[in-house]
């Protein structure tokens, strides 16, 4: 035991008062000659034993009362400072490693595991002797030290403890212990030994954790660098005494959002995966409330039957009123760990693409119409999209292009020159334009009027030479750019349906890289088949062959329907590329910088803003590190000075659900993992563990003073009882 104010122990002298009073009282009896001395002696004999015991109790109560008062005033710090002294040959260096992983956010009886750990850490600091030093480390995704080197200053240690907050991250305690051990060897200039001499240290590392299994992965390095010593590892289960049944936990580990074709427009399917961390089949299914929310609005409320020890998927569908990237979250009914009952996601609600198809070769015979196959491909199972409007080239000049998202020039040989400029403007303002070839396409007109938006100037039609060796008069498709959003649908067997397309004629493009373009697929003779290029805010896709059977049989190939749909959605900026980048709290996020951006800003869930100015935006991507909270991170871009939303780069960060499994290891198992001993903890370690438990379980000064006050009250009570009995005679 040590004391905050040892001088106040002088108050213990006060405990002598009852003894002095007793002695004074004893020395001054009144003398009384009395005849019946025999009866008095018999009476004394009768009551002496009871009377003597009572007097001793009374004396002890008074002494206890005054002693307790003096000790309470002296600020006792129970918890084994003496033990520290006796177990080490000198001052101890203590590293307190607080588990700061997400599992420490779990609440039991209204108190978080972290709060318990901090309380016990304070007890350890309380118990430090005057020459002891300590440091505090926090186990997070990247373990960190709260101070560079051990310090004897308790106030600094208390402040550091108060500053600890549990993260939403997964932590490896082995790494944290290694870091703390390394820091224990950090000596100040005064402490540095003579050169060539390695000092000996009494080093201890006390880990305060809920012992949840995920935090124990690798063994820790316990040799203190620069010394001859190894740190003694002591693990403390801060949830000791908490029923293991309370440590069952369910978590949403993943949420996927998918646009659902064939449903109402803008319908998104949200699939949440719920994992129950409990002993398998210990109980039956437990219904849990689950809700899909956007901001504070409940979109879908339902229930899911969670079977302990199993994984279950819950599917919810919702038709959003507006398209766009919608941040949503799925919320599961609360349990001990609230943080993993919420999972954030972005629902990329597909917009409805308004299409204008300019039919280059209308025909009274449907199958001979240029767009016969195109129309059917776009209508197939596409109830979520509006029907395209079909016009002829002659009507193009009367069409209000602003009312459409995508214009398809389907084998249009020529158009009015004014329409060319309108189409180019349409594209540069954000519209999508698809051009398909026909045998009589006026390449000069196209180059002249649409040259500023075409991926390449058109050179002319190439008809595959039937005499060429091995060609047979046709070319097939090859080298699909599968990484492109449009082409992602072609995987596995589906790719065969695309590549087997037979084309007999196609448009040649001018060589040279006048502007960036991407070839989605090419002919097996190396010429581009489908190319894409951005133009202004819009995009152009050039299909170098026809979309009827005039120049290619692609229209009757299985790949035609999905490719057309994908291209239209792409041009209509409705093809949300699934964001496969799942960001966990604490992980960096790459932000793609739009071309021409003057500034970029990311706003965290708590409102904290990170802004990059133009001078910093010298790369195509920026790294955003401050993902410290789960939730929606809104990206904004400025092209002209005012920030506007940048939905494509907005993202969500989620808690690391590896920490959701709260089921604990035993102290011995955890120790064996950290020490790298498969046999489990040694006797010495177990002894150290017991001591650590005793230390951390020690009473706080407030509790101790409270107990002392209770003791005083008890002593008063006993004294009063005895006195009352005497007076009552």
Partner 1 sequence: MATRGAQPEPERKPGEIEPSVLADIGNLTLRARVVADSALAGMHRSRHHGTSVEFAEHKEYSPGDNVRHLDWRAFARFDRDYIKRFEDEANLRALCVVDSSGSMGYPQEAERLNKLAYATTCAGALAYVLARQGDAVGLATFADKLDIRVPSRARRGHLQEILSVLEALKPDGPSRLKVALDALSEGLTRRSIVVIFSDLLDGGLDALEAIARLRARKHDVALFHTLDPDELEFPFEDSTLFVSMEDDRNVQIDARAIRDAYLEEVKKFIETAESRCRSSRVEYHLTRTDRAPGKMLAEFLSRRTSMRSLAR
Residues that bind partner 1 (CB under 8 A): 25-26, 28-44, 46-47, 51, 726-727, 729
Residue with token string 């039991």: 108
CB of 41 to partner 1, least distance (A): 6
b/e string for 35-66 if b means 16 or more Cβ within 10 A? Answer: eeeeeeeeeeeeeeeeeeeeeeebeebbbbbb
Nearer to partner 1 by C-beta: 50 or 595? 50
Nearer to partner 1 by C-beta: 55 or 279? 55
CB of 17 to partner 1, least distance (A): 18
Give, to the nearest 10 degrees, the angle between helix 113-126 and helix 683-696. Answer: 90
CB of 21 to partner 1, least distance (A): 12
Closest CA to 567 of 377, 702, 347, 717: 377
SS3 assignment, position 45: helix
Q: In whole angstroms, give the CA distance from residue 293 to residue 299.
A: 5
Nearer to partner 1 by C-beta: 595 or 729? 729
Nearer to partner 1 by C-beta: 46 or 515? 46
Distances (CA, A) of 10 to 1, 69, 198, 514: 16, 11, 43, 93
Strand partners, 300: 292
CB of 62 to partner 1, least distance (A): 16
CB of 25 to partner 1, least distance (A): 6
Distances (CA, A) of 499 to 150, 475, 529, 557, 560: 67, 10, 11, 10, 11
CB of 722 to partner 1, least distance (A): 11
Residue with token string 């991170």: 633
Q: Which two tokens stand for residue 629?
A: 């909270």
337 within 8 A of 251, measured Cβ to Cβ? yes
Q: In whole angstroms, give the CA distance from residue 643 to residue 322.
A: 21
94 within 8 A of 204, measured Cβ to Cβ? yes
Nearer to partner 1 by C-beta: 28 or 581? 28
492 within 8 A of 480, measured Cβ to Cβ? no
Nearer to partner 1 by C-beta: 28 or 367? 28
Q: Which two tokens stand for residue 114?
A: 């972290």
Strand partners, 302: 290
Closest CA to 360 of 410, 313, 308: 410
Neighbours of 509 (CB within 10 A): 21
CB of 53 to partner 1, least distance (A): 12
Nearer to partner 1 by C-beta: 36 or 469? 36
Nearer to partner 1 by C-beta: 38 or 243? 38
Nearer to partner 1 by C-beta: 228 or 720? 720
Nearer to partner 1 by C-beta: 49 or 595? 49
CB of 57 to partner 1, least distance (A): 14
CB of 37 to partner 1, least distance (A): 4
CB of 42 to partner 1, least distance (A): 5
Residue with token string 């997964």: 170
Nearer to partner 1 by C-beta: 45 or 465? 45
Strand partners, 329: 293, 344
263 within 8 A of 317, measured Cβ to Cβ? yes
Q: Which two tokens stand for residue 692?
A: 């650590």
Q: In whole angstroms, give the CA distance from residue 687 to residue 473.
A: 86
How many CA atoms lie less than 13 Å away from 312 in the CB half-sphere? Answer: 19
Strands 92-99 and 133-139: parallel
CB of 726 to partner 1, least distance (A): 6
CB of 718 to partner 1, least distance (A): 17
CB of 63 to partner 1, least distance (A): 19
CB of 701 to partner 1, least distance (A): 41
Backbone angles phi, psi at 599, to 5 degrees: -155, 155
Nearer to partner 1 by C-beta: 47 or 690? 47
Q: Which long-range contacts (CB under 8 A, 24 or more apart) does 146-150 make?
A: 148/183, 148/186, 149/183, 149/186, 149/187, 149/188, 150/93, 150/94, 150/95, 150/183, 150/184, 150/186
């Amino acid at each position: 035991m040590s004391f905050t104010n040892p001088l106040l122990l002088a108050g213990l002298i006060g405990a002598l008062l009852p003894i002095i009073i007793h002695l004074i009282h004893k020395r001054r009896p009144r003398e009384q000659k009395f005849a019946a001395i025999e009866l008095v002696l018999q009476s004394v004999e009768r009551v002496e034993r009871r009377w003597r015991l009572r007097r001793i109790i009374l004396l002890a109560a008074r002494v206890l009362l005054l002693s307790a008062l003096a000790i309470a005033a002296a600020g006792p710090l129970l918890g084994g400072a003496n033990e520290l002294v006796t177990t080490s040959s000198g001052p101890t260096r203590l590293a307190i490693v607080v588990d700061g992983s997400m599992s420490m956010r779990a609440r039991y009886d209204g108190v978080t595991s972290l709060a318990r750990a901090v309380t016990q850490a304070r007890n350890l600091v309380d118990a430090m002797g005057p020459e002891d030093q300590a440091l505090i480390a926090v186990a997070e995704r990247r373990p960190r030290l709260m101070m560079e080197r051990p310090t004897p200053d308790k106030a600094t240690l208390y402040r550091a403890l108060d500053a600890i907050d549990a993260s939403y991250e997964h932590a490896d305690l082995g790494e944290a212990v290694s870091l703390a051990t390394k820091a224990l060897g950090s000596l100040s200039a005064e402490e540095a030994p003579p050169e060539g001499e390695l000092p000996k240290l009494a080093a201890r590392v006390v880990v305060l954790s809920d012992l949840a299994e995920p935090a124990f992965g690798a063994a820790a390095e316990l040799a203190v660098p620069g010394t001859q010593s190894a740190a003694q590892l002591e693990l403390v289960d801060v949830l000791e005494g908490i029923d293991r049944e309370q440590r069952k936990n369910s978590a949403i580990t993943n949420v996927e959002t998918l646009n659902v074709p064939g449903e109402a427009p803008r319908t998104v399917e949200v699939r949440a995966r719920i994992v129950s961390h409990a002993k398998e089949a210990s109980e039956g299914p437990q219904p849990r409330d689950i809700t899909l929310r956007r901001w504070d609005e409940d979109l879908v409320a339902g229930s899911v039957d969670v079977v302990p020890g199993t994984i279950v998927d819950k599917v919810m569908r919702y038709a959003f009123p507006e398209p766009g990237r919608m941040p949503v979250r799925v919320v599961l009914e609360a349990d001990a760990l609230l943080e993993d009952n919420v999972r954030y996601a972005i629902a990329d609600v597909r917009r409805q693409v308004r299409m204008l198809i300019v039919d280059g070769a209308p025909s009274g015979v449907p199958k001979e119409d240029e767009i016969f196959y195109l129309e059917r491909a776009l209508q197939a199972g596409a109830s979520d999209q509006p029907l395209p409007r079909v016009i002829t080239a002659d009507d193009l000049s009367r069409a209000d292009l602003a009312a459409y998202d995508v214009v398809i020039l389907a084998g249009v040989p020529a158009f009015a020159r004014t329409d060319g400029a309108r189409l180019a403007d349409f594209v540069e303002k954000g519209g999508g334009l698809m051009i398909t070839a026909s045998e009589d396409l006026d390449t000069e007109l196209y180059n002249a009027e649409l040259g500023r938006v075409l991926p390449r100037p058109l050179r002319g039609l190439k008809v595959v030479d039937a005499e060429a060796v091995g060609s047979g008069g046709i070319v097939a498709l090859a080298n699909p750019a599968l990484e492109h959003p449009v082409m992602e649908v072609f995987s596995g067997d589906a790719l065969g349906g695309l590549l087997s397309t037979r084309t007999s004629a196609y448009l040649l493009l001018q060589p040279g890289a006048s502007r960036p373009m991407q070839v989605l697929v090419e002919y097996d003779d190396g010429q581009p088949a489908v190319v894409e290029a951005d133009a202004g805010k819009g995009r152009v896709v050039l299909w170098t062959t026809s979309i009827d059977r005039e120049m290619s049989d692609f229209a009757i190939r299985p790949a035609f329907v999905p490719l057309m749909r994908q291209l239209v959605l792409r041009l209509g900026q409705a093809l949300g590329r699934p964001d496969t980048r799942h960001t966990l709290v604490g992980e960096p996020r790459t932000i793609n910088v739009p071309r021409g951006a003057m500034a970029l800003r990311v706003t965290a869930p708590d409102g904290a803003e990170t802004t990059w100015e133009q001078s910093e935006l010298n790369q195509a991507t920026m790294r955003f590190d401050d993902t410290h909270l789960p939730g929606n991170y809104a990206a904004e871009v400025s092209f002209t000075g005012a920030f506007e939303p940048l939905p494509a780069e907005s993202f969500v960060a989620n808690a690391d659900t590896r920490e959701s499994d709260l089921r604990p290891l035993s102290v011995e198992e955890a120790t064996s993992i950290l020490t790298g001993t498969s046999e489990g903890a040694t006797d010495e370690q177990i002894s150290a563990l017991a001591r650590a438990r005793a230390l951390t379980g020690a009473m706080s000064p407030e509790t101790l003073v409270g107990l002392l006050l209770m003791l005083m009250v008890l002593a008063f009570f006993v004294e009063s009882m005895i006195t009352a009995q005497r007076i009552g005679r």
